[in-house]
Structure 1
Amino acid sequence: MTSNDIRFDCQHCGDGGPLVIVPRIDGAPLTELIDGFEIAAGMQPAGDAYGGLIPEFFRFGPMPGHFLGRSTNAMGPKTPVLDCECGEWGCWPLMARITATADFVTWDAFEQPHRKARDYVAFGPFQFDRHQYDGVLRALTCVPRNSGVLESLPG
């Protein structure tokens, strides 16, 4: 399996609003990838349902640990990788199993916990080179608070 590229877009909502983190896989925001998948699969509701994670709104713990599947307050064994478009992750999250090994980090077994009948088997898996992934997470720890709009973080 070929490795995917991951980045995290970080920006503040509005003028000095909370920080929003959106994973970007192979150049595309995860919000767009999941919207396209759900719409193509005929899921209802679908499209514009997801937004980035807002760490200030929920105690995910340090973001690097969260994106390695170690968030202590998540729902069960899966990790929220996107929030609802309203900003509340518990409202309409996209959950994934995050598995980290010495060589790779894999996101798979996606689910929408409020629609258990939905089938996400064909979405992903996404496999990232561990070295590249860790580099992106290190950059994520350096995100300054209240600094205005940020560009995509380097990997």
Structure 2
Amino acid sequence: MATNDLQFDYRRRGDLGVLEVVPRVGGVLLTELIDEFETGAGMRPAGGVYGGLIPGYFRFGPMEDHFQGRSARERGLTPLLGCECGEWGCWPLLARITATDDLVIWEAFEQPHRPARDYSAFGPFRFDRRHYDHAVEKLGREVAASESRPC
């Protein structure tokens, strides 16, 4: 079974002056993947409506827990993206994160403010567990280091 590559961009958002987390799946930003899917499916609004998660605004807990699905917020689903405004609850992209010994799977995507939308053709994304854990641990170190720096 083929797996996707996962990386995280942890970058400063110029308009808000904060650091945000945006997953990359197969080298492509998740914001771009979902924009392409929603626009292609004729969903409105679509395109440019998602942004990354901003750990400094919300207590997601350790990134390792969050991206293992252990801090699921909504009916067992975990926010992977937030709204372009910076608020994850405003316009989130949620998914079920399932971890096995060998794989981590992102599936059952949902936009909770538009429950009639069908995301069944988006994903699932499968990641090699060892590589996934490494990417999440690296992100966790970056977030922890940025939170410990003085303003």
Q: Say whether residues 1:60 and 2:74 are aligned partners.
A: no
Q: Do the aligned partners of 2:5 and 2:25 also contact (CA within 8 Å) in 1?
A: yes
CA distance in 2, matches of 1:16, 1:119: 31
Where 2:141 maps in the other structure, the secondary structure is coil
**RMSD, matched Cα:** 1.6
The CA deviation at 1:76 is 2.1
Q: Which string of whole-angstrom CA distances, capped at 9 and with x for unpartnered residues, describes residues 111-134 of structure 1?
A: 000000000000000000000001
Letter in 1 for 2:120: V
| Structure with greater contact order relative to length (CA < 8 Å, sep ≥ 6) | 1
CA distance in 1, matches of 2:51, 2:14: 14
Where 2:123 maps in the other structure, the secondary structure is coil
User: Structure 1: 5+ residue runs without aligned partners?
Assistant: 148-155
User: What pairs up with 1:7-26 in 2 under 5 angstroms?
Assistant: 7-14=7-14, 17-26=17-26
Q: Say whether residues 1:134 and 2:133 are aligned partners.
A: yes
Q: Which string of whole-angstrom CA distances, capped at 9 and with x for unpartnered residues, describes residues 20-70 of structure 1?
A: 000000010000000000000000100000000001111111111100001
What is the total number of aligned residue pairs between the two structures?
146
Q: Which string of whole-angstrom CA distances, capped at 9 and with x for unpartnered residues, describes residues 81-103 of structure 1?
A: 00000000000000000000110
Over 3 Å off, 4+ runs: none
CA distance in 2, matches of 1:108, 1:96: 6
User: Structure 2: 5+ residue runs without aligned partners?
Assistant: none
